[in-house]
A and B are shown apart, each in its own frame.
Chain A
Amino acid sequence: MNKTLAIAGVVVVEMIRRKDVYVLWILTVVITLLLGSVNMFGDPGIARYLKEACLSLIWLCSVVISASTAARKIPMERESRTIFPLLAKPVTRLQVVLGKFLGCWVASGMSLVLFYSFFCVVSGSREQQWPLINYAQALWLHTLFCGVVVAMAILGSVLFTSVAANMTIVMVSVFSILFLGRHLHKVASRTEGVGGVLLDGIYYGIPHLEWYDVRELIIHNWPRLDWGLIGFDTLYGFAYCLLFLLLAWGRFRRQPLTA
């Protein structure tokens, strides 16, 4: 466990040193503040459009950060040949996979805390209220979402040869699930034959990442979610993370370390 945590710690420190997160955060801040400066019929209390813009940017940035951070980790170790001394420590391949996952996940979570802090400030300054528990629930669900994305990207990094291809496939898959995941069964019921069965299979097989997107509830000030629901979503997210990581480890342990 110590070795896993050590690898994770290195990943976190590396992420803190990189500029990606700060650049994306600054972009989010600038775009949100620009939108907020637009005069909406002289009423400074109108907040929801701004919350939606800010949260949409946060979600976009989080997918980019999670996918890009995780997709590079193992391929970079192999390219720079640092995988050899790492595995000679001795550290097992499972510990490498878990350590990289944990590090990327924690790093994504930390960046989310930064983004959501800004969101809290912006929404509070407009609405004069801070439903912190609601925001905390949204943050935790978003963090779980990032965990699944990181696990997907790590699996992709041992399956695909190119980092760019891995990132593209992961991001396309994630956005497809976010936009269409909820509706696949409706389309499946209207599709006859093999197509319908296939769509149904995909619907039941994919991780339903759209559950973790509770932006509409936050934007329109709906009451907080039930804690049992959060618990179930947590277990669901962990289950898919474990599945993707096991698949990644299974593939990684059979792969030669040289390209």
Chain B
Amino acid sequence: MTQTTISISAVGRVFSSPGFLLLVLGLATFTLATRIEPSVSALHDQNPRRSDPLASLFGDGRKLFAKHFYTKADVYFHSGFYPTMFDNQESHRTAHMAEDAGVARSENTGDEDHFLGAPKNWIDAHGRKHFPSVHTHLGEDSPDGKKNSEREILPWLKFSARMDPNLIETYTVAAYWLRRTGSSTEAEAFLRDGLRFNPSSAELHFELGRCRYDAQDRGRARNLLERAWSLWLEAELRKPAEKRDVFLGSQIALNLARLESVEGRRTECIAWLERALPLRSDPTVIRKRIEEVKAGQSLLPESVNDGSKP
């Protein structure tokens, strides 16, 4: 009896000891974790941004930062000469870096060189000597005249994409300037990054198609451009005619026409040119190209560039 009493009290002491309680708690939490973890992983796979710390910290406010960084890239494109919120911004409604890249149609009006106007007083006149006050573009007439200075806009585009991965223009603009500065591999990698977050984006498929075409991989280029076309149709045909992005549609059709021309498939080339016809404000040039292709000529690369620079 006495030995049983001693055993029971000893067991009781063990069960109530802090070490034992810690062990039980540890086992309980481990069991719970193994039970919960599969569901959390499945949730994460559905939405990769769920565990993004920036998304948790800023919420939708990060889109404001993304827009700011995108504009900052255009500021850098102009070496600091850029209208503030107090200045006339009509000449910078569309970012010039996007316009030059051919990814956005310009909505700019007004004088981009003189948005500051004449100096209002001697303080204004003197103050303008302390900040950039001449309009330049990197790579064309930048103040230091360095080669490949356009790459200086890239960090801001990267930060913008990090803040808002759904801002498509960030990827397409960055991809153009990366290709322009000789970093085609990085351009493609960045576009593929964007595609992870925007799998239904016609623009990203189109840009990837252009990258693959430049890399002489015409098979994949065709797949990507055709996918871009079907995504474009899916997205744009739902909209009223006046709100459709005909610029992108015409770019996709013309690039496919060029590809078919290079591969010697005249019928398919003409078919794509005819699809581009209703999407152009001035179809005269396209009609001329159709006649040329019918006559046996190849479609020239410059006829594909719809106001965008190579």
Contact = CB atoms under 8 A, between A and B. Distances in A.
Contacts of B154: 40-41, 43, 46
Nearest to A204: B123
Place the interface of chain A in its size category. Answer: 35 or more
A220 B132 contact: yes
A85 interface: no
Interface string B30-53: 000000000000000000000000
Interface of A: 38, 40-43, 45-49, 182-183, 185-187, 189, 203-204, 208, 210-214, 216-217, 219-223, 225-226, 229, 232
Interface residues of B, number: 30
B183 interface: yes
Contacts of A43: 151, 154, 183
Contacts of A213: 130
B127 A211 contact: yes
A126 to B, nearest CB: 11
B143 A220 contact: yes
Interface string B112-133: 0000000011011011011110
B183 A42 contact: yes
Given A214-B131, A222-B79, A183 B86 contact: yes
B121 A185 contact: yes
Contacts of B143: 220-223
B291 interface: no
B152 interface: yes
A226 B129 contact: yes
A41 B178 contact: yes
Interface in B116-162: 120-121, 123-124, 126-127, 129-132, 142-144, 146, 151-152, 154-156, 158
Contacts of A48: 76, 152
B126 A45 contact: no
Contacts of A46: 151-152, 154-155
B124 A185 contact: yes
Interface string B175-198: 000100001001000100000000
Nearest to B78: A220
A183 B129 contact: no
B121 to A, nearest CB: 7
Nearest to B152: A48
A226 B190 CA distance: 43
Contact of B80 (A49, A211, A216): A216
B284 interface: no
Nearest to A182: B127
B132 A40 contact: no
A173 B281 CA distance: 54
Nearest to B136: A220
Contacts of B129: 225-226, 229
A164 to B, nearest CB: 29
Contact of B86 (A187, A212, A223, A232): A187
A219 B80 contact: yes
A203 B80 contact: no
B84 interface: yes
Nearest to A189: B120
Given A46-B154, A182-B124, 12 more contacts: A40-B155, A41-B190, A42-B183, A46-B151, A47-B152, A48-B76, A49-B156, A183-B84, A214-B131, A216-B131, A222-B143, A229-B126
Nearest to A216: B80
Contacts of A232: 126
A223 B158 CA distance: 28
B162 to A, nearest CB: 10
A255 to B, nearest CB: 34
A226 B130 CA distance: 10
A18 to B, nearest CB: 32
